[in-house]
Amino acid sequence: MAKKIGQIVTSHGEPGPGDGGRTGSWRVLRPVIDLDRCVPVKKNKMACFICWMYCPDGVITRTIPPEIDYEYCKGCGICAEECPSRAINMIEESRFITEDE
Amino acid sequence: MHAIESGNFAAATGVKLARVQVIAAYPITPQTPLTEKLSEYVESGELDSQYIPVESEHSALSVCIAAASTGARAFTATSSNGLLYMSEQVHWAAGARLPIVMCVVNRGIGAPWTVWNDQQDSMSQRDNGWIQLYANDHQQIIDTVIKAFHLAQDVSIPVMVCYDGYLLSHTYMPFEIPSQEKVDSFLPAFSSHYHLDPDNPANLNSVTLPDLRVNVHGDMAPAYMEIRNALHKDLRGSIGVLEEIDEKYKTIFGRGGCPITEEYLCEDASFIAVSIGSLSYHLRDVVDTLRGEGIKVGVLSLHLYRPFPDKAIIKALKRCERIVVFEKALSYGYGGMLYGDIKSALYDCDERPLVQSFILGIGGREIKTRDLYEVLKEACRTSKPKTGESIWIGLKL
Amino acid sequence: MNAKTDILSLPEEELVHPGSRACSGCGLSIVYRIGLKALGRDSILVVPPSCLTVLQGLYPIASTKLPSLNVTFASTAAAATGVLAALKALNREHTTVAAWAGDGGTADIGIQALSGACERGENFIFICYDNEAYMNTGVQRSGTTPQGVLTTTTPFSGKLQVSKDVPAIIAAHGVNYIATASASYPLDLFDKIVKAKDIQGVKYIHVHTPCPSGWGFEPQYAVKVGRLAVESGLYDLYEIEYSEWRLTGPSKRLLKKKRLPVEEYFKTQNRFKGLSKSRISEIQKQVDEKWKGYGDRSK
C-alpha cells in the first residue's frame, strides 16, 4: 500500500501540569501554615489533613508538615477557612514578592 | 453465494462480512430493513457485534464515534432527516479522524415530509469531510460497504456509502455474496491511530486554540487550522488509496476496476450524460436507444463524490462536446451541486465542453424513460443548448 | 449509610495535575479531584462542553491523568454507551466508564441520551456536577437553577420556574443506584462512587457543586456554602439503592438535629438577592414539610 497518507493529526492532549499557566500568579493572598497550630505537626502523627482533602487544586501534600505548592496554589482560601485549628493564615501575596521578580 | 435480495439486505450482509463490532442505529424509512436485518444477524449469533438500539440518530453516530475512539469497528445507517439530525456528529467524526462507515439510504428531506428517493440528504452533506461513495446496484452496495471499511481505516476518515431509497433499498436483484473467508483475506482486523486506554491516557478533541501552543514535551503542537488542513489533505490523498483498495478487491473477488467513475460508451462519445446512483443505469437504456439513432452519446456514473475526483472527471469529460448532468439534488438558490463541481473542475482546462444541468426526481417524482430520452436527445441535438442554469424536468404544474 | 472512608484512607495519588484553568475556589475542582480517586486509574471518562472541559485543559495539555473523550453537548450518555460497547467487544470490561456532565449536559440538552441509556441499562456511572446554571458560558439559567435565582438570562426577576428534580427523573427509569452528593462532603461522595462501581446498569450521582463565580460569594466559602445547603435541609444527601431510599451522612444526622434556617444559606450568595421575604418563608415551609415526610419515611 503506497503511503499517500501521513501521520494522522488530531486534537490529542497529553497529561501535564499548568494548562492554565503558572496559576500561582493568580494569588492575591497566600496561605501560610502555622506549624505551631497544625494538628499533624503538633501531634507528629497522621491526623486531620482537612486542608489536603478540600484543596480544589491538589497543591497541598498529605505529609507532616503539609506543604503547599505555591507554583500552582490559586490562593482561594478554602484551606484557611476549613482548617479546624485555624492554623492557616492568608497573607498578602505582595509581602512575598522580592525585588528581582 | 448467489442471492436475489434487496439492497438493504446487501448492505446489511456487507456489514456482517466486515465483522463490525459495534452497531448503533435508529430506524428511519427507507433504511429500516437494513437495521432490522443487522439485529437479526446479531441476535442469531451470525454476527458477533454489540447492537445498540439507540433513542435517536444523533445518539447512533455518538455511539459509533465513542466506540471507534475506544478501538472498535463501528457502523451506523440512516436517511434524510436522520442524517441531518446527526449532522454535528457527522462533522465531528471527520475532524476526529475516525474510521466509521455509515450507509445513507438516500431519501428527500423535509419540509415538507417525504419518504421517497432523491439525493439531497447526502449531497447536501458533501462539505463535512467524509468520503462519499455511491452504489448503482445491489452488487455494488455489498462490495462498496466491504471496501469502505478498508478505506476508512487506511486513511482514518469516515466513509458514507450511499444508495437510492426504494429504487435500490427495497427492490430485489441477483448478486453475489462474497464468502467470509475471502472477506477476511481482504479486510484486515480493525486498527486505528489511537484508542482510549488507561495505560496510555490522552484527552481527545478538547478545545483547540486558533494558534500553535507548546505541548507537554516542549514541542510546538498543531492548532485547529493545521488539524483541519490535515483532514483536507488526507481526503485528497484518499482518492489514490481507494484505487489501490479496489485493485486489491478485484484481485480477490474478480469484481471492480471502476471505483471512481464508471463509463458506458464514453470512449468515442461526443455527448456524455453524467449522474450518480441508480439513475446511471436507467440512462443506459436511453443511451442505447439514442445510439441506435446515430447519436454518439455515453453515460458516466460517478461513484466517488467526495473527495471530488476532479482529475478523473477532467480526463473522462474534456474531450467530448457536451456534458449533460442529471441530478436528484441541488444547492438551493443556485443549482445542481454536481453540475457546479464539474464546471469548476473544467474551468481551467483549455478544452471546455458545454455543460447542461437537469434536476429531476425530487421527492421521488417518477423519472420516465420517455422524458429522459427527449431531454437527452434535445440536449445533444439542439443548436441552443441551455447552459448556465439548472432546469427542472418533470414538474407538472 | 455513614461515610466509611476517612481522610487518611482516601487514596493519596492525585489523578489531576495542578495549574488548571478552573476558577479559584471552584467546587467542581474538589468534586473532580476526589471523584477521580474513587474511580481509579482503570477508567475512561466522557465529558461534554462544560466547566470540566476547561478544567481538563485545552489542547495539547490535559490536566487529567486518565483517558478522556470530549463529546458534543447532547451526546454524553450515548458516547458513554459507545465506549462500553467497544470495551465489551474488545474484552476490556474491567475498565470503569464514567460520564461527567454539568447540569445542562445532564438535565437539559443531555437528557434524551441519558434517558435512553437508563432504559437500555448501560453499565456506566453518570456524575452530574450541578452548579445550577450554565456556568461555562457565563451563568445562564438551566433546568436545575432554583426558583428566584438571578442569572444572566433571568437578570431582574429571577428564574420563574422551580428546578427539575433530576434524581427523581432517573429513578423513574428504574435504575439500580441513584445518589445525591455534595462538594462539601467529599468522603460521602467518594463512598458513593466506589459503591456505584460494583452495581450494574446506569449509576446516577447528582453532586451539588458550589460555584463562587456564578453564585456570587468569595472563593474561600465554597465548602461552607455547600455545607449550609445541606445543614438547612435544602439540599439532601441520599441514595436509592435497588429501590430502597435512605438519607446518608449529615442529612441522616439532620433527622435528629435542628436544621439551620434556609435564610442562612440564601444570604451567603448574591444570586439570591432577588428572593423576597415571603418567598423565603414559603421555601422554609416547603423544606419543613419535606423533612416531616422524611421523618415518616425513615421510621
Nearest by CB: B216 against A10, A11, A14: A14
Q: What percent of chain C is predicted at pLDDT more than 70?
A: 99
Nearest by CB: B63 against C53, C78, C90: C78
Q: What percent of chain B is predicted at pLDDT more than 90?
A: 98
CATH of region B2-186: 3.40.50.970
Gap from C60 CA to chain A (nearest CA, Å): 4
Measured distance CA(B279)–CA(C219) in Å, rounded: 66
Domain boundary assignment for chain B = 2-186, 261-392
Could you report the per-residue pLDDT of B124-182, keeping only the tens digit for each? 999 999 999 999 999 999 999 999 999 999 999 999 999 999 999 999 999 999 999 99
Q: What percent of chain A is predicted at pLDDT more than 90?
A: 87
> Please, what is the average pLDDT of chain A?
93
What residues of B are in contact with residue C96 (Cβ under 8 Å)? none
Stated pTM of the model: 0.97
Residues paired with residue B220 on neighbouring β-strands, in sequence order? B214
Which pLDDT does position A15 carry in this prediction? 97
Q: Which of residues 1-20 of C touch A (CB under 8 A)?
A: 7-8, 10, 12, 14, 16-20
Q: Cβ separation of B205 and C65 shorter than 8 Å?
A: no
Kindly state whether C218 is in contact with chain A, defined as any CB-CB distance less than 8 angstroms.
Answer: yes
Sorted by where each starts, the structural domains of chain C and their CATH numbers stand as 20-297 (3.40.50.970)
Closest by alpha carbon to C234, among C287, C296, C168?
C287
ipTM of the complex: 0.96
| Domain pair B2-186 / B261-392, same fold | yes
CATH of region B261-392: 3.40.50.920
Q: For residues A43 and B386, which has the higher predicted lDDT (pLDDT)?
A: A43
Sorted by where each starts, the structural domains of chain A and their CATH numbers stand as 23-96 (3.30.70)
Gap from C248 CA to chain B (nearest CA, Å): 32
Task: Categorize the per-residue pLDDT at C236 as very low, low, confident or very high, splitting at 50, 70 and 90.
Answer: very high
Average pLDDT (C85-89) is 98
Residue C1 has pLDDT above 60, yes or no: no
Could you report the per-residue pLDDT of C177-228, keeping only the tens digit for each? 999 999 999 999 999 999 999 999 999 999 999 999 999 999 999 999 999 9
Average pLDDT (C16-39) is 98
Among all residues of chain B, which has the CA nearest to that of A11? B205
What residues of C are in contact with residue A71 (Cβ under 8 Å)? 18-19
